[in-house]
């Protein structure tokens, strides 16, 4: 599941499923285009047994992309 589209209840749901013995795999972005953490990402990372953090490649400089890219001019 991708957590960014859920509310705070997603953290409890993940815990409930894991406590039932289910394997829960969550994919998420951890920060937005200005480096601000996405809501609940820290909570989910804190309860994770394993974390496999990946980075994209920045199409501007070619380095690891550690934040998302905002194509528009909005800062919201």
**Residue 72 forms part of a structural domain:** no
**Residue 70 forms part of a structural domain:** no
Domain count of the fold of the chain: 1
User: Rounded to whole angstroms, what are the CA distances from 3 to 25, 26, 34, 53?
Assistant: 10, 7, 19, 15
Show the CA angle centred on residue 14, arms to residues 39 and 20, nearest 5°.
170
- Give the model confidence (pLDDT) of 45-75 as tens digits: 888 899 998 888 988 899 998 888 887 777 6
Name the average pLDDT for the chain: 84
- Which residue would you say has higher pLDDT here, 57 or 29? 57
In terms of residue numbers, what domain contains 8? 3-65
């Amino acid at each position: 599941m991708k957590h960014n589209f859920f509310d705070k209840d997603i953290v409890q749901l993940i815990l409930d499923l894991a406590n039932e013995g289910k394997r829960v795999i969550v994919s998420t972005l951890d920060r937005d285009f200005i480096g601000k953490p996405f809501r609940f990402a820290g909570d989910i990372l804190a309860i994770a047994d394993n974390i496999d953090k990946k980075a994209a490649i920045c199409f501007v400089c070619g380095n690891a992309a550690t934040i998302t890219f905002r194509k528009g001019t909005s800062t919201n």
